[in-house]
Amino acid sequence: MATMRMGLEMKMSQQLIMTPQLQQAIKLLQLSRIELEELIDQNLIENPTLELSPVEDDDDNKEEKEEQPQEAKSLLEEQAQLSYDDEWQNYIESGAGVMQDVRSRLNDSDDISNPLEATISKSNSLMDHLHWQFDMSSFRGVEKEIAEYLIGNIDTDGYLAVSLRELLAINPNLFKLVESCLEENTIQPYIEDEVLPLFDRAHETRTALEIRKKGRKKQAPSLDEEDIQEEPLDLSIITDEMCGILETVLRKIQKFDPPGVGARTLQECLINQLIILKLSPDSLSVRILRENMQLLEQKDLKRIARLQKADIKEVVKSYQVITELEPKPGRPFGGEVTQYVIPDVFIYKRGSEYVVNMNQETIPRLRINPYYQNMLKAQKDESGQGKKNSGDDNQDMTFQYILEKVKSGDWLMKSIEQRQKTIFRVAKSILKFQYEFFEKGIDYLKPLVLKDVAEDIEVHESTVSRITTNKYVYTPQGIFELKYFFTSGIDQGDGDIISSKKIKDYIGKLIETENKKKPFTDLQIKNKLLDDAGIKVARRTVAKYREAMNILPSNKRKKLY
């Protein structure tokens, strides 16, 4: 029989403790340049001892040069020794000229531009556009309140995010409004017709339990929280007449700009656009959308022509009209401002050698405010001399607070510096492994894994993974993310390994230059890779790479006219 005993035992073990400082240093490694700038701005607000370092701060520049990697030191010393003669002019043309070329690429504006035109303006969102039309519309009374509910549930693509039955089930106030409309006969329910049926009928079989599992939809700011009911109403009490009233109001909203807004399905969206274009409900385009939507998605125009008993040329014309419609009406509204890529590091050729140079221009330079440094020094001197004051407790609290903030700021500066050093070392290692790529282009990109670079610069693979995420490098071949240079390879059987990115580039070029009316199949691409470039690859690998590049299969790429 086993017995249990209590006792003390001593043993030695090693354990890595993730201190807040270490967590911050790791987090800084994976931040992009924009995220790093935001973090620095936040720390400048929260930490009173931190401030931006003046450009003319020679002492800080000197310290930074002393702590930089040996490769960076030699580069900085070389730059410092250049004078305003032909050698300096050559450096400007080869090095700084590259940076000027980058700036010109990132900014395509005129040389003389209006500063007001360079400011970021708030774009008009789809919701703003709909509310503006709503304010100018003829909605009155109960109809206006119902329209607010419906507009509040239109998503950024322009579609009604929930079914009408679900709206009635989870919004008791809306349910009461519709009930009053039926009793007072203030709004006539929508009468179903052949062209625009009640699309909401597809949701009739849904139960309250299914709605609850799906979760509550995010409502527009105009809707109050009390309007949302945690327990949905029983769908059996929601009649067709109630949905018909909502449908009546929704049809008016669907006449708003942009065309197709407020639809619940792609089919309804496209049909509404054709009706706004004044096409007859009996036109071939409307009939195709209403009756042959699935075949249309498959581009099976011959079968559509047989079912519609129409000439194939007429079906092609209708197909052309349909493809010109907008499947996402809200696409032009609320687009985010384009963020241009700013390289973190430059690799450019000077003479016969490549130079790696960090981009320090947009990263704010930090330092500890001298006033707080002197305050801490004076406090330490007083403590060493044993001086006591009546307000010692308050002074100690102030001292501890400032000391904590100074240490935090100092750690942040060291973490940023370490981040820059690691990016520099990784870029140097990538240059060494992918030298032929920088010289000749993507066809010479070699397979490379994180472990190769990690062993080369003597860091962990996770560090390389973090430091290459959302970091960009300017090269003679263009601007690339650092992760771009890490790629798997396919063994060709003779010891030669071809980079997967090289194969993807070949596939992309083949599809770009193919006959759009007779696009290449995956098997044909496989054969052409072997015949034209001598690359052995399986058909399923071609399909895998094509899908990874978001390229449709041949039957979907085929141009029908």
Domain positions in the chain are 20-68+343-484, 126-323, 489-557
Among 275, 272, 276, 325, which Cα is nearest to 296's?
325
Instruction: Decide: 402 and 368 in contact? Cβ < 8 Å.
Output: no
CA-nearest of 65, 89, 97, 104 to 348 is 97
Neighbours of 325 (CB within 10 A): 19
pLDDT of res. 377: 82
> 350, 75 in Cβ contact below 8 A?
no
Q: Using CA atoms, how far apart are residues 528 and 446, in angstroms rounded to an integer?
A: 22
- pLDDT of 380 reads 72
What backbone phi and psi angles, to 5 degrees, belong to 160? Answer: -70, 120
- Which pLDDT score, from 0 to 100, does residue 336 have? 58
pLDDT of residue 535: 84
Nearest to 264 by CA among 127, 150, 144: 150
Question: Checking DSSP bridges between strand 472-475 and strand 345-350, what pairing results, if any?
Answer: parallel
Structure tokens that stand for 410 in this block = 């100092």
The confidence score (pLDDT) of residue 271 equals 92
Q: How far is CA 153 from CA 161, 162, 167, 233, 448, in A?
A: 6, 7, 9, 19, 48
CATH of the structural domain 489-557, one choice from 3.40.50.300, 1.10.357.10, 3.40.50.1820, 1.10.10.60: 1.10.10.60
Please identify every stretch of the chain with a pLDDT value under 50, giving residue numbers as ranges. Answer: 58-100, 102-103, 105-106, 109-113, 116-119, 194-195, 198, 200-230
pTM: 0.60
How long a stretch of residues is the chain?
A: 561
* Residues 6 or more apart in contact with residue 299 via CB below 8 angstroms: 555, 556, 558, 560
Q: Residue 425: CA atoms inside 13 Å, Cβ hemisphere, count?
A: 19
